[in-house]
A and B are shown apart, each in its own frame.
Chain A
Amino acid sequence: MADLSNTFLGIKSPNPFWLASAPPTDKAYNVERAFEAGWGGVVWKTLGEAGPPVVNVNGPRYGAIWGPDRRLLGLNNIELITDRDLEVNLSEMTEVKKRWPDRALIASIMVPCEEQSWKDILPRVEDTGCDGIELNFGCPHGMSERGMGAAVGQVPEYIQMVAEWCKHYSSLPVIVKLTPNITDIRYPARAARAGGADAVSLINTISSIVSVDLDSFSPNPSINGKGSHGGYCGPAVKPIALNMVAEIARDAETRGMPISGIGGITTWRDAAEFIALGCGNVQVCTAAMTYGFKIVQEMIDGLSDWMDEKGFVSIEDFRGLAVPNVTDWQYLNLNYITKARIDQELCIKCGRCHIACEDTSHQAITSMVDGVRHFEVMDDECVGCNLCVNVCPVDDCITMVEMIGGTDPRTGKQIDRDYANWTTHPNNPMARQAAE
């Protein structure tokens, strides 16, 4: 039986599944239910300054993208940080941590970019007995208009500055939560490290308009006929998150920095992928908001069963195994040649592979052979692009098979099994220059 127990920045939790700072972690009531359901830890909903709390809109806060059976694929929100009094939150956090000493409890904080604000709140947070702090430099909506959240996360110098304050005024581990609303995620990550932060967590939500009402012409969610961009999350954002995690994991300046992975994690498999790209643990929000806290049971079982199958005893056994395999395009092996193969036994003759290839790609799949509806790859046209695999509705019906010898009928060239990439390719002007 695999050991899912997790230590992240020295913070122990029975499993690597934390709930992200968000509506599900806004109150003791919710957090206690999460712990009862089995979640390893929570990042408490973001705290603001002492005094009158922020207020939220009183109309809809969420919008969504659905599949045809209303499976929720992407969620968008315009909710702000906690709108409960700081004192109430701090006392509840203290109580909950006492009752659940084996679970991780992290305080998420967002206060103005002034040293005094951070100096004021940090000791009070530390007094709750929580295990660490997460700096919310990510929320792209609402708070960013007030110079907080993503407005900080988009300026590496601010990130470094605030991280330094936090390390100075608090003894707790510091996690910097990054916004994806930036051109190159490596810069804010480097700034976090330069500021002494212990880890980064990512991604926060993506600036988004989830839909437009074609009757009122208001963006959704609509507040009295107007809409404001929100933060996009859920299964739809996972590929964006995975890339950003990988960029930080393989960057020379941030390599080895602990990462808490966030972004569309819905099943154990999603979690395993983030961990394979170097994350020390994962945070979940939308999946819980869609299905309730019970989903963690599937995540725990699924991850554990997969680890047993693979012979991994602990999370550390497979953490980061995919990182060395993330590379730049220029280093991809151009001598690796594949052709699509259609399993005629499995083919249901829908013709999607044909029309996708015929209309939009390489005219490499037949539709009719000897007067009979028949779909087959023409190797002399197939560039191995994988589009047919992606549009085929049948599992494993079309596969990409590597050519390991002979001649590629498309190019007429002998298969060369030695590795060769763009940097040395004769068509690369840079390579020619180097040779001259």
Chain B
Amino acid sequence: MTMMPDKPDVRPARLPDTDYADNFSDIHPPLTAHEALVESDRCYFCYDAPCMTACPTSIDIPLFIRQIAAGNPKGAAKTIYAENILGGMCARVCPTETLCEEVCVREIAEGKPVKIGLLQRYATDRFMERDYPHPFIRAAPTGKTVAVVGAGPAGLSCAHRLASLGHDVVILDARPKPGGLNEFGIAAYKTTNDFAQDEVDFILGVGGVKIETGQMLGRDFTVDGLLSRYDAIFLGMGLPGVNDLGLAGEDADGCVDAVDFIARLRQADDLSQLAVGRRVVVIGGGMTAVDVAMQSKLLGAEEVTIAYRRGEEHMNASAYEQELARTHGVVIRHWLQPSALTVDDRGAVTAITLEFTSMDGGRLAGTGETVTLVADQVFKAIGQNFADNPMEGSGIAFERGRIRADADRRTSHPKVWAGGDCVFGGEDLTVASVEDGKIAAMSIHRTLMGLLE
């Protein structure tokens, strides 16, 4: 176990050229028209349907499925978009097994829920492929302007709803392309064929939304600056920093920020040029940990181990995602926390030492026992943060390192709203961010139009 290798083995092109396209193709192939018809017939059109309640955006699931069953997939897509304009991406990335499909009555009855996610994808894909006119018509111009910071799920959702209601919106995003984690995060096999950009274009089809890229809050503009030019602000820029392991050697070669790695992978023109270790250890227990582990394996890593400091039941990655990783050959080990990195004289990581943990009187504690895993690459996927507060001086209150927002997603500043991962208390899910953006947009609208109840 503790035998040290000669030198770290991190390199590109581990696989034959032809394997990459297969490995990174759609992990859940879309339904054909006939499959969608048959699957839609399995829906019981429940009264006060539990799936609808479980959906963070409250999509009318029984209705859209019935529309598919009745040969009206276009209407189905409109039903989805009415509550969730990013319904196409959510159909790909939602952990449906812990949301709508978990509470489907057929899950209860026979352990086989209606494939709601795939049906949603069928309807939305078909809508976008057909180049139908945008499903919403903008209301008359209100003359109000709103700045949205971040072109990720929360910002796009907020901007779309505001634009639909007649407001003019400018989205400012730090990255060179819009889309946020849809474009730079999320495993590649969940969103193939540049879907994230297609969806952005589709959303912008409503009109009244301008996107300015390369604009970072705190660097290129400030909250106060925006307040002087816009009637309201929505903050949806996510969390730019990645939490550190807090170990010596963290800056060594081969100790990699998982979020950055996934972003590089998502933007790579040639996946074979992406260097990956022969033996990979991922630290973390969320979706990012699973995504980076799976994709390392698909890039040709021989041994991939996820080490998580608590038990299986505590992992943020759903049981389904964990199972998927395991079937792709990823080993998941629980009750292990990083305690030391081994770095060779060339400044590269060669191993990681992990300490066993257990619950001690309600607190997680190391047991003192350790195990050392040979590692050519160590991925950090233990959560994100605001590296520095980009809103310094704006007076916007924080809570446990994130922005505090109320039920309407309004911050402590009366003209600033916030949603998505940068807000405290969220679920860090695409669909939850979409809902945040929607709720904030409605609250901004009521405020700007003097419709307060």
Chain A residues near B (Cβ < 8 Å): 67-70, 348-352, 354-355, 367, 373, 393-394
Contacts and interface: CB of A to CB of B under 8 A. Distances in A.
B41 A69 contact: yes
Max chain B C-beta neighbours (<10 A), residue from A67, A373, A393 = A393
Given A349-B50, A393-B44, 7 more contacts: A67-B41, A68-B37, A70-B34, A348-B105, A351-B48, A367-B48, A373-B50
A351 B51 CA distance: 13
A402 B397 CA distance: 66
Contact of B46 (A69, A352, A394): A352
B112 to A, nearest CB: 12
A355 B45 CA distance: 10
B69 interface: yes
Contacts of A393: 44, 109
Nearest to B106: A348
B108 interface: yes
Interface of B: 34, 37-38, 40-41, 44-50, 69, 105-106, 108-109
Question: Which 6 pairs of residues, A with B, have the shortest CB-CB distance?
Answer: A351-B47, A68-B41, A355-B47, A348-B109, A348-B105, A350-B46
A351 B46 contact: yes
A68 B40 contact: yes
Contacts of B41: 67-69
B48 to A, nearest CB: 6
Contact of B47 (A67, A70, A348, A354): A354
A313 B188 CA distance: 67
Contact of B108 (A68, A70, A348, A352): A348
Contacts of A348: 105-106, 108-109
A362 to B, nearest CB: 16
A348 B112 CA distance: 13
28 contacts: A67-B41, A68-B37, A68-B38, A68-B40, A69-B37, A69-B38, A348-B106, A348-B108, A348-B109, A349-B50, A349-B105, A350-B44, A350-B46, A350-B47, A350-B105, A351-B46, A351-B47, A352-B45, A352-B46, A352-B47, A354-B47, A367-B47, A367-B48, A373-B48, A373-B50, A393-B44, A393-B109, A394-B109
Contacts of A351: 46-49
A53 B44 CA distance: 51
A357 to B, nearest CB: 10
B5 to A, nearest CB: 55
Nearest to B69: A68
Contacts of B50: 349, 373
A68 B33 CA distance: 11
B44 A352 contact: yes
Contacts of B45: 352
Contacts of B48: 351, 367, 373
SS of A interface (majority): loop
Contacts of A354: 47
Nearest to B43: A350
B108 A349 contact: yes
Nearest to A359: B47
Max chain B C-beta neighbours (<10 A), residue from A67, A68, A367, A393 = A68
Nearest to B47: A351
B109 to A, nearest CB: 4
A349 B51 CA distance: 12
Nearest to B38: A69
A367 B109 CA distance: 18
Contacts of B46: 349-352
Nearest to A70: B34
Max chain A C-beta neighbours (<10 A), residue from B37, B40, B69, B109 = B109
B204 to A, nearest CB: 33
A49 to B, nearest CB: 46
Max chain B C-beta neighbours (<10 A), residue from A351, A352, A367 = A351
Max chain A C-beta neighbours (<10 A), residue from B34, B38, B45, B105 = B105
A350 B106 CA distance: 9
Max chain A C-beta neighbours (<10 A), residue from B41, B44, B47 = B47
Nearest to A353: B47
A350 B47 CA distance: 6
Contacts of B40: 68
Nearest to A368: B48
A355 B62 CA distance: 14
A68 B48 CA distance: 24
A379 B322 CA distance: 48
A153 to B, nearest CB: 37
A68 B68 CA distance: 11
A356 to B, nearest CB: 9
Nearest to A346: B109
Contacts of B69: 68
Nearest to A354: B47
A68 B49 CA distance: 22
A354 B48 CA distance: 10
A9 to B, nearest CB: 44
A394 B37 CA distance: 21
A155 to B, nearest CB: 42
Nearest to A68: B41
A369 to B, nearest CB: 14
Contacts of A355: 47
Nearest to A394: B109
Contacts of B108: 348-349
A392 to B, nearest CB: 10
A349 B107 CA distance: 11
Contacts of B105: 348-350
B35 to A, nearest CB: 10
Contacts of A67: 41
B343 to A, nearest CB: 57
Contacts of B49: 351
A393 B50 CA distance: 16
A352 B44 CA distance: 8
A70 B46 CA distance: 24
A349 B50 CA distance: 9
A68 B105 CA distance: 20
B203 to A, nearest CB: 32
A361 to B, nearest CB: 14
Contacts of A373: 48, 50
Contacts of A70: 34
Contacts of A350: 44, 46-47, 105
Nearest to A355: B47
Contacts of A69: 37-38, 41
Nearest to A214: B71
A373 B109 CA distance: 16
A352 to B, nearest CB: 6
A305 B28 CA distance: 44
A42 B106 CA distance: 44
A18 B49 CA distance: 48
A348 B44 CA distance: 11
Nearest to B103: A349
Nearest to A67: B41
A373 B49 CA distance: 10
Contacts of B37: 68-69
A70 B35 CA distance: 11
Nearest to A69: B38
